[in-house]
Structure 1
C-alpha cells in the first residue's frame, strides 16, 4: 500500500473519530437529566443562601424564583426598591423561603463595600451574576452610539465590573467551605465578532473567558463556575420578543439551563440555543461582516422594533380603556 493511500486512510479515520466524538457530545446534551443529573439536595448542599443580581425582572427574577423553589433563601439585587420588594413578596408567598433585598445601581460606581457588609454573615452557596445592560436595542456602529463615553462606563460597570466584584465578595467563603456554584450570564452574540453590537458583545466575551478561566483555577476547591451563553430570551433587554422554538421565556430558559450545570464550564442553556450557536459559528465571517448583511440586520431590527412599539401602544390604549 502506498504512503499516499495510507495518509488518506488515517486522515479519514481521524476525521471520523473527531466528528463522531462531537456527535456523541451533542447527543448527551439532548438528555441532560440522564447525563448531568443533580440530586434534589444539590442547591441546598452548596449553602443556605443564593445571591442574584439584576433580579427584579427577566432572567434574574426567574433564577431567584427557581432557586427559592429548590429550597434556598435568596438575596435579590437591582436598582428599583419598589420592584424588588414586590418580587420578594411574591417569592416568599410562593416558596416560603426568606428573601433579602439589596438596592444597587450597578451602572454607576457603587460602593461594593456596603454590599459586602450586608452579605458578610450569610452562607452563600450560589451566586448568579445576571445584571447587564445593552447600550441600544437598535444596532449601530460604535461611534454612532448616543452619549458614547457614558455608554462605555455603564456597559463596563454593569457587564464586567459587577461580575468581578461579586465574585471577589462571594468566592472566598465558597473556597473556605470547599463548595459553591457561580453562574455568570454571557450572551450568544459573543460567539463571534458581532458588528453593530460590538461593545456589548465584547463585554460578554469577557464574562465567558473570565468564567472559564476562574473555573480552571477553583475547580479543585469543589466550586462549580459556569458561563451561560443564551441567544433569544424574551426580556426587556431583547425588546420582549415573541416566544417561539428559539426565543424562550425567562422561566423556560432558566428551567432548561439549570439542567446543564454539570455539563461543563460553558453552556448555551438549551438545545435550541446550542444548535443556533453551532450554525452561527459555521457561517463565514466575511459574509456576516459584509456591508450588505449589516444593512439588512439594521433594517430588520428597526422594522421589527417599530412594529412592536406600535403594537405595545395599542395594547396600552386597550389596557387604559379596560381600567
Structure 2
C-alpha cells in the first residue's frame, strides 16, 4: 500500500468512526429513554413525597383525567381544574370514591384572561402542591389552512394561544415558587408529537406545542439544581375526545394506557413521546428527514394531513 492509499485508509477509518460515534450518541440515549429505562427500571420518582397535592388542568376527560386517576392511585390529593363545573364534580366524586383521596375542583375557562389565575391562587392558597400537570389545551376542529381557520373563527388565534401557552406559563409561575422553596416538585407539561415533527394544516396548534417543549427544556436547565423535575410529554394519537378517535389501537392507546407509560419515563427523560409506538413514529419521520430530505418529509406529511382534511370536510357537508 502506497503512502496516499494509507492516508486515505486512515481518513476513511476516522470518518467511519465519527459517523458511528454520532449514531451511537443519538441512538443509545433514545433506546434508554424510550425502551430500557421505562420498561426495565420505570420511574424512580416518588410523587407522593413531592407534596400532599397534585394540580391537574383539563382534567375532566382524556389524558388529564387519566393523570388525575394515576396520581390519586399513588395517594395524592387532587385539585382538578377545567371549564365545566358539572363535569368536574362528577369526576371528583368518581375519583374520590374509588381511591379515597380528597378532591377539590376549580372551574375556569383557560381561554379567558389573567383574572382566572387569581381565582386559582385564592382557592389553592396553603396547599402543599408537589405535582403540577399542565394538560389543558385546544386544537383545530379539523386540519385547515392558516388563513381559512382564522377567517372561520376570528377568536381562534387568541383562544388557542391562551389555552395552550398562557396556561402553561401562568400555572408554572403560580406553583413553582412553592416547589423551589421546599426544593422538590414535579411539573409535567403535555405537549404533542405535532410540536416536534412537520405539521402543516395544524400550524398554530403545532407551534404552541413546540413552545411547550422549548419552555420545558430551558426551565428544567434553570431549576434542576433546585430539585425540580420538569418534563415535556409529546403524545401522538390517543383515543380521546380531542382526537375524535373512538376505538383504541396500538398506535392510538386509551388515555389510561398512555399515562401509565408516560409516568414510567418521569425522571428518565425530560422530553418524551411517553409511549413507545409514538416514539417510533417520531423516529421514522426524523429518519425520513435525514435520509430523503426535510422537504420530502414535509410533503409526505402534508399529503397525509390534507387527505384527513378532505374527509373531515366531507363529513361536515353530510351533517349539514
> Is this a same-fold pair by TM over 0.5?
yes
- Which of 89, 93, 114 is 2:93 aligned to? 89
Match of 1:317 in 2: none
> Is the 2:193–2:282 Cα contact (8 Å) retained in structure 1?
yes
* Secondary structure in 1 matching 2:155: helix
Match of 1:228 in 2: 233
Tell whether 2:233 aligns with 1:212: no
CA distance in 2, matches of 1:293, 1:268: 18
Tell whether 2:111 aligns with 1:107: yes
Change (3 A) 1:20 1:4: same
**What is the deviation of 1:305?**
7.8
Tell whether 2:70 aligns with 1:66: yes
TM-score after normalising by structure 1: 0.89
> Is the 2:143–2:308 Cα contact (8 Å) retained in structure 1?
no
Q: Deviations along 1:120-163, whole A, 9 cap, x unmatched?
A: 11000000000000032x21110000444300010110000011
**What is the deviation of 1:308?**
11
Residue pairs, 1:118-267, within 5 angstroms: 118-136=123-141, 138-145=142-149, 146-267=151-272
> Is the 1:191–1:281 Cα contact (8 Å) retained in structure 2?
no
- Which of 27, 34, 42 is 2:31 aligned to? 27
TM-score after normalising by structure 2: 0.90
CA distance in 1, matches of 2:314, 2:71: 36
Structure 2's unaligned 5+ residue stretches are none
CA distance in 2, matches of 1:305, 1:67: 39
CA distance in 1, matches of 2:313, 2:239: 14
Q: Deviations along 1:222-253, whole A, 9 cap, x unmatched?
A: 00000001101111111124321111110000
CA distance in 1, matches of 2:187, 2:56: 10
Aligned length: 307
CA RMSD after TM alignment: 2.2
Farther-moved stretch of structure 1 (228-237 vs 138-147)? 138-147
